[in-house]
Amino acid sequence: MQITSEDVKKLREKTGVGMMDCKKALQECGGDFDKAVEFLRKKGMDVANKRQGRTASQGLVTSYIHMGGKIGVLVEVNCESDFVAKSESFVNFAKDIAMHIAAAAPEWVSSEDVPANVLDKEKEILREQALKSGKPEKIVDKIVEGKLSKFYEERCLLDQPFVKDKDKKIKQLLDEMMGKTGEKCVIRRFARYQLGEEI
């Protein structure tokens, strides 16, 4: 099967992955574009998993101001090298994350960051709701677990569907960024301000 440079270029534009990796993916998948995209995504996630033990101490703090100064976000996104931190794709990724935070208003980065007392209270409320609706005791815990994943999706950044592409969660975007850069990347923390919020 002949892989043209046009095919490789198209795949690179879609995935942001290097030319050689794109060519290899197309060869592996017999020239099937969609399979090659999937192949690269899986490879990116494998790379992401291998990088978990490494230290991400470089990166940047970026901001996003929305609605004529009514909402503002500061977010810190880390990577392993200054070279990656200054790359266009990393800078754009950080800006997208800041814009997403402004729009989706998460409260925590990940489900691990939810304070135990908040989680306990939420479980208690969900349990009570399930019991009041007449659900049998033995399936209540399953119902609570299912509703907790919805709670995480609404309030934890990594579990939220990306506002620009609802088919992808922020965690997926982060894994793809690690696949593209070959480095461990972390969304460390954020602050979101809304005008008059606590008045």
Mean pLDDT of 17-39: 83
For the 5-50 domain, the top CATH level (class) is: mainly alpha
Range(s) within the chain of domains with CATH label 1.10.286: 115-154
The single residue listed with the structure tokens 């995480």 is 152
What type of residue is 28? E
Q: What are phi and psi of 75, to 5 degrees?
A: -135, 140
pLDDT at residue 50 is higher than 60: no
Reported as a pLDDT band with limits 50, 70 and 90, residue 51 is: low
Sign of CA dihedral 191, 64, 165, 47: negative
Reported as a pLDDT band with limits 50, 70 and 90, residue 38 is: confident
For the 58-109+156-194 domain, the top CATH level (class) is: alpha beta
DSSP states of 35-51: HHHHHHHHHHHHHHHHT
Q: What is the pLDDT of residue 194?
A: 92
Residue spans of alpha helices (H) in 16-115? 19-28, 33-50, 82-85, 88-104
Reported as a pLDDT band with limits 50, 70 and 90, residue 5 is: confident
3.30.70, 1.10.286, 1.10.20, 1.10.246: CATH of 115-154:
1.10.286
pLDDT at residue 48 is higher than 60: no
Residue in 129, 173, 122, 124 with CA at minimum distance from that of residue 148: 122
DSSP states of 109-132: SSGGGS-HHHHHHHHHHHHHHHHH
Mean pLDDT of 58-73: 92
pLDDT at residue 93 is higher than 90: yes
Q: What is the pLDDT of residue 7?
A: 84
Sign of CA dihedral 14, 17, 18, 24: negative
Neighbours of 112 (CB within 10 A): 8
Reported as a pLDDT band with limits 50, 70 and 90, residue 56 is: confident
pLDDT tens digits, residue range 128-166? 888 888 888 888 888 888 889 899 999 999 999 999 999
Range(s) within the chain of domains with CATH label 3.30.479.20: 58-109+156-194
Tokens representing residue 182 in the block: 């070959």
* pTM for the model: 0.70
Residue 101, class by beta-carbon neighbours within 10 Å (0-12 exposed, 13-18 middle, 19+ buried)? buried
